[in-house]
Amino acid sequence: MLKNEKVKIAFIGDIVGRPGRKIIKENLTKLKELHGIDFVIANGENASHGFGLTVKNANELFNCGIDLITGGNHSWDKKKDMIALLESKPVLRPDNYPQEVPGSGVLVNEINGIKLAVINLMGLYTMPQVLNPFTHVLDIVEHLEKENIKHIFIDFHAEVTAEKRILMQMLKGRVSAICGTHTHVGTDDQEITDGTYYVTDVGMTGCRDNVIGMESDIPIKKALTGLGGHFNVPNNCKSIMQIVIIEMDQDGKSVNGFKIKLYDNKKEVISNSIIN
Ligand SMILES: [Fe+2]
């Protein structure tokens, strides 16, 4: 990479089912061209009918221009497929699962001569029991710093906003970007502080006219009666694609970051970060 050259990466929030995959297929190639995106990361733990990720759907997403897929609490819903993907493809699961769990949550990628480390972590509250993400990530970042890797991206898959803010306050100035996932609802708090881009949650890519990507009838019944059922991703819906685009300098500092919300009617809403 030449001096002063920048790298531009994109991150797509939780892809939910076929409608999520469809809107990506229709739009990602032209977004990459338009914005000069070098590398695309996406959270894919809900990409196969809302629960997990199959080999077939992962390949579909790679063919759309996604370079790396992260996961979360639903990573194991299609367990056999996930283990195959973790062994053979750029697919991550949260790194703070215990060591005996298959796969990894850290991958260093080469992009135009620079090394970009992607870290996938999971929060604690309402999540499966995992290792403390905060102590765990400090070890990872320290190791990457020793390797002189300056471009570091984190997908923090967590329910609680405060856990995400804690991670940001802990690591600002040391990593390039921290993007939250899991709640499926995008937050309006993009900032760049000491060269670290941060957003509490990117928001999902999928159906937007129901309950966080799922048909509303079962969640409503559950709320009213306490009785559950199988959640379904609708076949027809109003959809949304939510993608953040982050530009990093040669030292791994984020210098620009914005988010695009792209609706099925082609309406686009762009929001920018405040730079602190
Ligand atoms: Fe999740």
- pLDDT by residue for the chain (276 residues), tens only, comes to 554 579 999 999 999 999 999 999 999 999 999 999 999 999 999 999 999 999 999 999 999 999 999 999 999 999 999 999 999 999 999 999 999 999 999 999 999 899 999 999 999 999 999 999 999 999 999 999 999 999 999 999 999 999 999 999 999 999 999 999 999 999 999 999 999 999 999 999 999 999 999 999 999 999 999 998 889 999 889 999 999 999 999 999 999 999 999 999 889 999 999 999
Q: Helix, strand or coil for residue 275?
A: strand
d(CA 82, CA 67): 16
- What is the model's pTM? 0.97
**What local confidence, expressed as pLDDT, does residue 45 receive?**
97
DSSP states along 7-24: EEEEEE--B-HHHHHHHH
Question: What is the radius of gyration, based on Cα positions, of the chain?
Answer: 18
Q: Provide the residues around ligand 1 (an ion) whose CB is within 5 A.
A: 72-73, 182
Query: How many whole angstroms from 6 Cα to the centroid of ligand 1?
Result: 31
Query: How many whole angstroms from 57 Cα to the centroid of ligand 1?
Result: 17
Which amino acid is located at 200 in the chain?
T
| C-beta separation of 166 from 180 below 8 A | no
Query: How many whole angstroms from 157 Cα to the centroid of ligand 1?
Result: 6
Query: How many whole angstroms from 183 Cα to the centroid of ligand 1?
Result: 7
DSSP states along 165-232: HHHHHHHTTTSSEEEEESS-S--S--EEETTEEEES----BEE-SSBTTB-SHHHHHHHHHS------
Query: How many whole angstroms from 176 Cα to the centroid of ligand 1?
Result: 23
**What local confidence, expressed as pLDDT, does residue 228 receive?**
82
Query: How many whole angstroms from 14 Cα to the centroid of ligand 1?
Result: 8
Q: Helix, strand or coil for residue 246?
A: strand
Of 178, 222, 232, the C-alpha closest to 201 is 178
**What local confidence, expressed as pLDDT, does residue 230 receive?**
86
Residue 136 bears catalytic tag:
no
Q: CB 77: neighbour CB atoms within 10 A?
A: 18
| C-beta separation of 108 from 95 below 8 A | no
Residue of 35, 74, 157, 182 marked active site: 74
Backbone angles phi, psi at 198, to 5 degrees: -145, 135
* DSSP 8-state symbol, 37: -
Query: How many whole angstroms from 181 Cα to the centroid of ligand 1?
Result: 7
Query: How many whole angstroms from 236 Cα to the centroid of ligand 1?
Result: 22
Q: How far apart are the first and last CA of the chain?
A: 27
Query: How many whole angstroms from 73 Cα to the centroid of ligand 1?
Result: 5
